[in-house]
Amino acid sequence: MKTILGAILVLVAVAMAMTSAAELKIEGRRIEGVVLDQSTGSPVEFARVQVTRLTGGGPVWSALTDEDGGFEVQALALAGTWRVAVEADGYHEVREGLVLGSTPDPVNLVIRLWSADRERPGEPMIEVRGAGSGVRVLSAARLRSIEAERTALEKLEEAEPGRYAPAEPRDQPGVPGRIQGERDEAKGIAAVRGDDASLAAPGSQATAEGNARVFGQVMRRQAPGTSADAGALSDETLARLAQNSDELWILERTGPRPAPADPDQDPGTGCLVVIDDEQKEIPVPLEHTDVHARIEGYVASVDVRQRFHNPFTQTIEAEYVFPLPHDAAVNDFLMVVGERRIRGIIREKEEAREIYERARQAGYVASLLEQERPNIFRQRVANIEPGHAIEVELHYFNALPYRDGEFEFAFPLVVGPRFNPPGSADPVDAVPRGAVSTHTAVSYLAPDERSGHDVDITVELDAGLKIEQVQSLNHAARVQRDGASRALIDLAAYDRIPNRDFVLRYRVASDAIKSGVLVHREGEEGYFAMMLVPPASLEHLERAPVEFVFVLDCSGSMNGWPMEQSKSAMRRALRQLRPGDSFQIIRFSESASALGAQPVEATAANVERGLDYVDRLQGSGGTMMIEGIKAALDFPHDPERTRIVSFMTDGYIGNEDEIFAAVASRLGDTRIFSFGVGNSVNRHLIEGMARMGRGAVAYIGLDDDLDAVDEFYRIVRHPALSDVTIDWGRMGAKQVFPQRIDDLFVGRPVLLHGRFEGSGQTTVTVRGRAGGQRVTMKVAVDLDAQRRRESLPLLWARSEIQHIADRLAREQDDSLQSRGLDLALNYNLVSDWTSFVAVDASSTVEEPGTRTETVPVPVPEGVKYDTTVRGRGR
Amino acid sequence: MRSMSFFALALLLVLGASASAAGETADRPRVFSVLRLEIDPSGAELSGWQLRADFGKSDARIVGIEGGASPAFTAPPYYDPRALNGGEIVLAALARGQELPTGRTTVAVLHVEHDPSGLPPLEVSELIAVGADGDEIEAAVIQENGAE
């Protein structure tokens, strides 16, 4: 009887709204899923699931779950932001947000309810099933924030009807209000306008000329308008806004609303804006960064142009510590002085610095590009006169990783604040704006500061294969398709705040990805790149039991949003353990501690224990990662199981080499899988640990739906191709990097770079072993291919430099360093040992600058300034 | 089709131009100067060039390479890093645009750091110039100290 009743209720879908789905004539789209008891995993029957659009009112759809915990809500065709509320007797209520983009139909959810007699967790309780779905869940906290802002807007509307632009969902084009905000000094507040979707999705747009702070993002301000009526906002909202130290701006509707000509240009999905307190615009010598990437196949050729200017009254030197991809082969450098373009010269690092210093002291305009880490660079520009501008341009190549069906182009935009253990030999300090450091330091803007520096990014994508999907993860971007295999991607004009990585993923038909070799000849010398794709047959094999060691970074930089995301990932990982597996959980910050003395069997009770342990974790303190490494690798190895160590961290440390050395000396048979958690993680560390640990990496953004965890299990669920050997045939391959392939994991091709001497046609044979079976793959190669691929020599040289750096992290060898220096000089590459210097010797400035202005940057999105930036600034 | 011929090098050194302001390290004083490279293609259209040279026994070194005055050669020439690492300077540029110079034209400006005794002569050991059809043409390289 209960079953029948439940089914009927679900089918009827009790609509609380006045309008039914059918009346709305919304085309087939639905949300379905199951509601489960978080503790037992059993279905929850008669839970009420309500789905409401956050923006613009509208109907509420609801359903009751059936005996299997299943529910289905029909006819949600519109992209946007939704509130999902779930109630059931004996359970905490769930209220979270759901952002639907161009999502699949149906959207499939798993909702876990916590028993009312337990403390309510802070994590999202809704998960989206299905890889790469493009659906994102907003935590309850974020949802509350959005709702509070909407309330504020409604009150403003109420006070002065028609003055403030209401929220406009992207799928309902309209012309938004303009940000005209002017802070009301007396009350310290202005107003809100916004579209919820914008808050959640980077697809949001205020106005191009707007200037607002949205979840820590600062947008450019234009002409101030009228003051706001702060009285329209509730005390509660004011208090919350003040606490967040955000800035509230008014958005005022100006004139009638013409229909937008181009939906992509429609600012329709605005954002919350605004707030209180004094937020100072800090004059900085970096005005703009322009990034232009051309991707052919899996190689990116990227031009980066940085425009420095002097807003001060004295001649200055500008200094900017900035990130680039950790594997970037930076091979060209130009300084632009007015119309004149001066090519920089590669020199030994110390020599370049001396040249630069002499030029600076003598009053010449000069610039110096140094590498501090493979992914951190320092740009110095000397003698910029007041009111003048100098531009520098650099170029790099890098090979794009292919992970789990997608290529990824990532351009980092901010260096995260590093923690340096006491005694670090070569730290990268995280200091407040204006603070002085004796080391390389990244200078950070305080939460109440912003700069006018913004970024343009354009990507010309020629995948060479049919593109199935292009997705910008962290930013709003416009994608224009040009045929089946090409696309042009632009960063949206309203989303140019450099406080998170620009990450573009594109999917091509997976069966089109095959092992292959690209070649390039320069005279008698040949260079090649080989993408080695694991055989599909691996997916039919099951792995042996595994000893999983999960290591969570619980330091201060993880505090808050990253920690919650990390814990959610951990929970998902624990729930996917299998009988026969064992596991351990280690947390570290200043010190390390663990779930228990030894790994435990993955029984239901132990998994529950693990979940409880994870629930209690918090982020604070320094990042003594070495403690985590020791705790994870120093206990005896279970001979019956493969040991897999998974780190979950943002990687914000300055002693990467020490960590690499520790991993190398303790690794044994362990495999390391690193999860980078956050929107601007230290990929040099994450990738380096996985490389040394013969494992793989995955990245979990702050808004991600944790697909990376599922992909992790997809990799480890099947045996890797091991004992890999390569017969290069008549290729005459030499100096191939990486030198060894220990394992080839499902879904994770390996890219090899090398040189060759042969000619003609040949076949490369790859042999390995998986699940007790021998596996052989053959790859045909045309060594006489005429097409020039200028990137291959540079990518090869960069690979060997990385190989040398890895070895130097664990052994002292002067000949290695000498080899690295020679490579970098011969291939024009910036490295640990080489820098670019450019001097304009044509004239000197009137008064050489003695003042150095560093370029302060915002802390990365989701990272707290107070727990990461140390020292006293201006 | 233009006849292919090997080039003649003319090396006119205009010495005595004053070096610019000096910087100094604890060890040795150094100054910075500018050296303009001009090529005279003797009436032929110049569409590209490559030059091999060094500063002889001097420890002068290039600290920047700028393009020339002709619209076809305003982009900074490329240098061969391998040659530079071996103590030589190999520069090359291809013309951009349709207006190819036929007379003496500045193709590059080298920014050089050297000792205060004066900018040493650039000893050019090889110059290859090519015309509009890609064949080699006769040309001469001329050096001028100081900015134009």
Residue A773 is predicted with a pLDDT of 83
Rounded Cα–Cα distance for residues A84 and A143 (Å): 10
Contact A343 B84 (CB under 8 A): no
Give B147→chain A minimum CA distance, Å.
Answer: 6
Q: What is the DSSP letter of A255?
A: S
B11 pLDDT higher than 90: no
- Which one, of A216, A222, A183, lies nearest residue A199 by Cα? A216
Residues with pLDDT less than 50, chain A:
1-28, 56-57, 75-78, 102-103, 131-133, 162-278, 873-874
Mutate to test the interface with A, among B20, B32, B78 (most CBs of A within 10 A): B32
CA distances from A798 to A25, A349, A823, B56 (A): 57, 17, 8, 32
Contact A852, A312 (CB under 8 A): no
Backbone angles phi, psi at A825, to 5 degrees: -70, -40
Contact B32 A359 (CB under 8 A): yes
B21 pLDDT band, cuts 50/70/90, is very low
Contact B23 A837 (CB under 8 A): no
For B83-116, the pLDDT digits (tens) are 999 999 999 999 987 789 999 999 999 999 999 9
Compare all CA atoms of chain A with the CA of B28 and give the residue at the minimum distance: A358
Backbone angles phi, psi at A845, to 5 degrees: -80, 165
The number of angstroms, rounded, from the C-alpha of A398 to the middle of its chain's C-alpha atoms is: 17
Amino acid at A754: G
Residue B18 is predicted with a pLDDT of 33
Beta-strand runs (E) in B25-88: 29-40, 48-54, 61-67, 78-79
Mean pLDDT over residues B127-143, rounded? 89
Rounded Cα–Cα distance for residues A833 and A312 (Å): 34
Residues of B in contact with A826 (CB under 8 A): 81-82, 85
Mutate to test the interface with A, among B25, B37, B59, B66 (most CBs of A within 10 A): B66
Output the furthest CA–CA distance in chain B (Å, rounded).
58
Q: Which residues contact A636 (CB under 8 A, 6 or more apart)?
A: none
- The bridge status of strand A642-649 relative to strand A671-677 is parallel
Contact A343 B23 (CB under 8 A): no
Mutate to test the interface with A, among B111, B114, B119, B144 (most CBs of A within 10 A): B111
Residue B37 is predicted with a pLDDT of 94
The CB-based long-range contact list for A487-490 (8 Å cut-off, 24+ gap) reads A487/A461, A487/A463, A488/A458, A488/A459, A488/A460, A488/A461, A489/A457, A489/A458, A489/A459, A489/A461, A490/A457, A490/A458, A490/A459
Residues of B in contact with A361 (CB under 8 A): 23-24
Angle, in degrees to the nearest 10, between helices A656-666 and A683-692: 20
Backbone angles phi, psi at A398, to 5 degrees: -150, 155
Residue A318 tokens read as: 């500008």
The number of angstroms, rounded, from the C-alpha of A548 to the middle of its chain's C-alpha atoms is: 25
Compare all CA atoms of chain A with the CA of B113 and give the residue at the minimum distance: A355
- Burial of A353-375, coded b for 16+ CB within 10 Å and e otherwise, reads bbbbbbbbbbbbbbbbbbbbbbb
Q: Which of A340, A345, A843 sits opposite B63 (nearest CB)?
A: A345
Contact A547, A563 (CB under 8 A): no
Residue A120 is predicted with a pLDDT of 60
Rounded Cα–Cα distance for residues A309 and A330 (Å): 23
Give B108→chain A minimum CA distance, Å.
Answer: 10
pTM: 0.74
Contact A362 B34 (CB under 8 A): no
- The bridge status of strand A851-854 relative to strand A316-323 is parallel
Contact A329, A397 (CB under 8 A): yes
Contact A609, A638 (CB under 8 A): no
Contact A355 B113 (CB under 8 A): yes
Mutate to test the interface with A, among B18, B35, B85 (most CBs of A within 10 A): B85
Cis peptide before A106 (omega within 30 of 0): yes
Contact B33 A346 (CB under 8 A): no
Residues of A in contact with B75 (CB under 8 A): 341
Q: Which residues contact A130 (CB under 8 A, 6 or more apart)?
A: A104, A108
Contact A822, B85 (CB under 8 A): yes
Contact A344 B30 (CB under 8 A): no
> Degrees (nearest 5) of the Cα angle A765, A771, A774?
30
Rounded Cα–Cα distance for residues B64 and A345 (Å): 6
Contact A357 B23 (CB under 8 A): yes
- The bridge status of strand B78-79 relative to strand B89-94 is antiparallel
- Count the helices and strands in chain A (H runs, E runs): 14, 50
Contact A554, A617 (CB under 8 A): yes
Residues of A in contact with B30 (CB under 8 A): 358
Q: Which residues contact A272 (CB under 8 A, 6 or more apart)?
A: A145, A146, A149, A192, A193, A194, A198, A199, A214
Amino acid at A511: D
Q: Which of A358, A826, A841 sits opposite B64 (nearest CB)?
A: A841
Count of pairs with CB atoms under 8 A, one residue in A, one in B: 100
Rounded Cα–Cα distance for residues A384 and A335 (Å): 12
- Which one, of A804, A843, A808, A838, lies nearest residue A820 by Cα? A804
Residue A612 tokens read as: 């409880």
Distance, first Cα to last Cα, chain A: 72
